[in-house]
Amino acid sequence: MFVKPNMKINQIYPYLSWSLFQRSIISRTNASSTYQNKERILLNCTNNNSDYKMTTRRFLTGYDVLLDRRANKGTAFSIEERQTYRIHGLLPPTVATPELQVERFMDNLRNMPDDLSRYIALAALQDRNEKLFYRVAMTYTQEIMPLVYTPTVGLACQKYGLIFSKPKGLFISINDKGHIYDVLSNWPIHDVRAIVVTDGERILGLGDLGCNGMGIPVGKLSLYTALAGVAPEYCLPITLDVGTNNETFLKDKYYLGLQHKRVTGKEYDEFIDEFMQAVVKRFGQQCLIQFEDFANHNAFRLLEKYREHYCTFNDDIQGTASVAVAGILSSLRITGRKLSDNTFVFYGAGEASIGMSDLLVVAMEREGVSVEDARKKIFLVDSKGLVVKDRPTGGLNEEKKRYAHERECIVKLGEIVKALKPSFLIGAAGQGPAFTREILEDMASFNEHPVIFALSNPTSKAECTASEAYEATKGQCVFASGSPFPNVDYNGKTYIPGQGNNSYIFPGVGLAIVTCGIRHIPEELFYISAKTLSEQVTEEDLAAGLVYPPIEKIHAVSRKIAVALAEYSYEHKLAAHYPKPKDLEKYIEENQYKAEYSDALPPRWDWQKKN
Ligand SMILES: O=C([O-])CC(=O)C(=O)O
Ligand SMILES: [Mg+2]
């Protein structure tokens, strides 16, 4: 027998084969109890019969409840719920509070031998009891972020072949070409609103990790929820596997992906085109597609190709640019200078540096400076040295050419710094230590408050450590890094390094997009995000040398960013959710995910619409 959408709860009793005893418990519960919620969920899930596949039970009972990550509360199920859902006896008798569950998990986590074990434990919790996972992540954000995100996620990707257990997203390989829509249809949720996708070619600063790069979209989307309250059921991590050029993985018997060299050229492009079209067909044109950790040669190209036609952005170009510009705007409040009175040296000329430079130009234009003059303030350094016009060693693509100066090429970073005397030195090369003590001391000799950003991830790829920066500049520098560093005690003062990571930006951007149905993402949204983030930095933060709000405030900051983006999007007719909510902040807050257990009967999470 199939349950029909308009059935009353008493009509489905026989189907659920509940005992009289259980019914009597339900009939004794009051109006706001599970009884009513059951009906509500039934109607919500199935208000148009013909739209839904009616092949399975509509909500869970029995052992299945404990196996479903979205329904499971573990030891927090009340005795009444245990009776109702027919799980009584499957759990030990003591009923835990959610708070106790969090503390128990954290105690266990802290006793584990290393961060990779903690990553595995958190991934398992996410599979077992999603609400508890997010409650842990939202309560202990500062402690959990470095485990589910950079730096530990980098290590987890390197070891993914050993630690993969349950699917948290979709793997789509080049062998699926021609059938990508079918693969997307295997994802059990219909209403997907945010995808983070990688092809694994440039995972953090660790290079080509191929299919093992899946840890990145999973980690990014976990932060969508933990930092901004985007409901996890809207989120879908995807890895596109076109092969790998990682020699170690090509020989590793535990490697999870296709063991051949990367497919490139026309076949690659057709594959990505098909993917983009299939996403729209399956999930609709408002589904956000965030590109993550693609290699430079594809990242810029694909952004240009798709930005006007899809709801898409590239986090490594635009998200990183936004967070860096926010940090730069905040540092001006410390140095007291105008943006255009500075000289910026970017070490690295890839996605992050070009993205930051382009957005900086936008910010300088707001000060009335021309694009041409703004570009004169920005210097890029790549593996061949300073980016200059007609460089004998070549290596200039279209993006770098925008910042190629009319001067002689200097190759060594130390000499470049001595020659240009920059006020900002920003590292995003993914090459590891590069800001030597001499370079840092030089920066302090030209500037009262040199600004040093070591943005490459994970920690091992940072251009310098926080303590190296504070010590070499005698505590004078403004410092931020992409991966977290512990506080530094120097000369009797404690310095708190800021984390200039795009995680301050993309969760808020995602929240605005999924709640307001923003269809298109113009560059302006990243400038607004940068400004809003910078405005959240208090005078107290600045006095402590912080150019970002403390991580504990990141939830509130993400919402502020979402509200600012929503305002702009409604004004510019980019938002599809109508009518426009009267109070956007309230609307967004109401639509944020809360990591609190619901007392509704758990619905199956694999209800999908027919396509
Ligand atoms: O993931 C991070 O920490 C920041 C980022 O996008 C990258 O480094 O590729
Ligand atoms: Mg990235």
**Where is 291: in which H helix or E strand?**
strand 288-291
Residue 145, in any domain of the structure: yes
Q: Are residues 111 and 77 in the same domain?
A: no
Residue 205, in any domain of the structure: yes
Residue 202, in any domain of the structure: yes
Q: How many domains does the chain have?
A: 2
User: Is the model more confident about 438 or about 15?
Assistant: 438
Query: Pick the catalytic residue: 220, 377, 400, 560?
Result: 220
Which of 73, 95, 117 corresponds to the end of one domain?
Answer: 95
Residues annotated in a binding site: 202, 292-293, 316, 457, 501
**Where is 508: in which H helix or E strand?**
helix 506-516
Residue 484 near ligand 1, beta carbon < 6 Å: no
Which of 43, 74, 95 corresponds to the end of one domain?
Answer: 95
Structure tokens belonging to residue 230? 């985007």
* pLDDT tens by residue, 384-397: 999 999 899 999 99
CA-nearest of 605, 513, 554 to 139 is 554
* pLDDT tens by residue, 416-466: 999 999 999 999 999 999 999 999 999 999 999 999 999 999 999 999 999
Structure tokens belonging to residue 325? 């510009």
Q: Are residues 137 and 47 in the same domain?
A: no
Residue 606 pLDDT level (bands cut at 50, 70, 90)? low
The answer on pLDDT for 13 being more than 50 is no
Q: Are residues 161 and 80 in the same domain?
A: no
Residue 25 pLDDT level (bands cut at 50, 70, 90)? very low
Rounded-to-10 torsion of CA 198, 201, 206, 212: 60
The answer on pLDDT for 293 being more than 60 is yes
Residue 315 near ligand 1, beta carbon < 6 Å: yes
Q: Can the peptide bond before residue 579 be classed as cis, meaning omega within 30 degrees of 0?
A: yes
Share of the chain above pLDDT 70, in %: 89
User: What pLDDT, on the 0 to 100 scale, is given for residue 7?
Assistant: 44
CA-nearest of 397, 387, 401 to 301 is 397
Q: Are residues 80 and 150 in the same domain?
A: no
CB atoms within 10 A of CB 64: 17
CB atoms within 10 A of CB 57: 14
Q: What is the rounded CA–CA span in Å between residue 187 and residue 182? A: 9
**What ligand has the least distance to the C-alpha of 323?**
1
Q: Are residues 31 and 147 in the same domain?
A: no
Residue 4, in any domain of the structure: no
Q: Are residues 77 and 104 in the same domain?
A: no
Number of residues in the chain: 611
In this structure, the residue with its CA closest to atom 6 of ligand 1 is: 316
Q: Are residues 69 and 112 in the same domain?
A: no
User: What pLDDT, on the 0 to 100 scale, is given for residue 608?
Assistant: 45
User: What pLDDT, on the 0 to 100 scale, is given for residue 196?
Assistant: 98
Structure tokens belonging to residue 562? 């979402």
Q: Are residues 279 and 141 in the same domain?
A: yes
Residue 400, in any domain of the structure: no
Residue 275, in any domain of the structure: yes
Residue 411, in any domain of the structure: no
Q: Does the active-site annotation cover 220?
A: yes
In the reported structure, the alpha carbon of residue 434 is separated from the centroid of ligand 2 by a whole-number distance in angstroms of: 20
Rounded-to-10 torsion of CA 494, 541, 505, 154: 0
User: Is the model more confident about 279 or about 21?
Assistant: 279
Query: Mean pLDDT across the stretch 202-207?
Result: 97
The CATH number of whichever domain residue 253 belongs to comes to: 3.40.50.10380
Q: Are residues 124 and 146 in the same domain?
A: yes
Average pLDDT, the chain: 90
In 307-412, which ranges are continuous DSSP H helix?
A: 320-335, 351-365, 371-376, 398-401
Residue 482 near ligand 1, beta carbon < 6 Å: yes
Q: Are residues 149 and 78 in the same domain?
A: no
User: What pLDDT, on the 0 to 100 scale, is given for residue 514?
Assistant: 97
CB atoms within 10 A of CB 168: 21
CA-nearest of 286, 295, 297, 291 to 313 is 291
Residue 61's identity, in one-letter code, is T
Evaluate whether 118 touches 109 at the Cβ level (below 8 Å): yes
In this structure, the residue with its CA closest to atom 3 of ligand 1 is: 150
CA-nearest of 235, 236, 225, 233 to 595 is 225
Which of 71, 95, 119 corresponds to the end of one domain?
Answer: 95
Range of lowest pLDDT (23-37, 85-99, 125-139, 552-566): 23-37
The answer on pLDDT for 52 being more than 50 is no
Residue 229, in any domain of the structure: yes
In the reported structure, the alpha carbon of residue 499 is separated from the centroid of ligand 2 by a whole-number distance in angstroms of: 14
* pLDDT tens by residue, 79-121: 999 999 999 999 999 999 999 999 999 999 999 999 999 999 9
DSSP 176-241: GTT-HHHHHHTSS-S---EEEEE-SSS-TTS---GGGGGHHHHHHHHHHHHHH---GGGEEEEEEE
Its domain, for residue 51, covers: 9-95
Interface pTM, i.e. ipTM:
0.97
- Taking CA atoms, 203 is separated from 115, 304, 430, 442, in Å, by 19, 21, 10, 32
Range of lowest pLDDT (43-57, 513-527, 554-568): 43-57
* pLDDT tens by residue, 347-400: 999 999 999 999 999 999 999 999 999 999 999 999 999 999 989 999 999 999
Q: Are residues 47 and 108 in the same domain?
A: no
Q: Are residues 211 and 231 in the same domain?
A: yes
Evaluate whether 289 touches 521 at the Cβ level (below 8 Å): no
The sign of the torsion formed by the CA atoms of 373, 375, 378, 380 equals negative
Residue 534 near ligand 1, beta carbon < 6 Å: no
Evaluate whether 160 touches 214 at the Cβ level (below 8 Å): yes
Range of lowest pLDDT (26-40, 86-100, 201-215, 564-578): 26-40
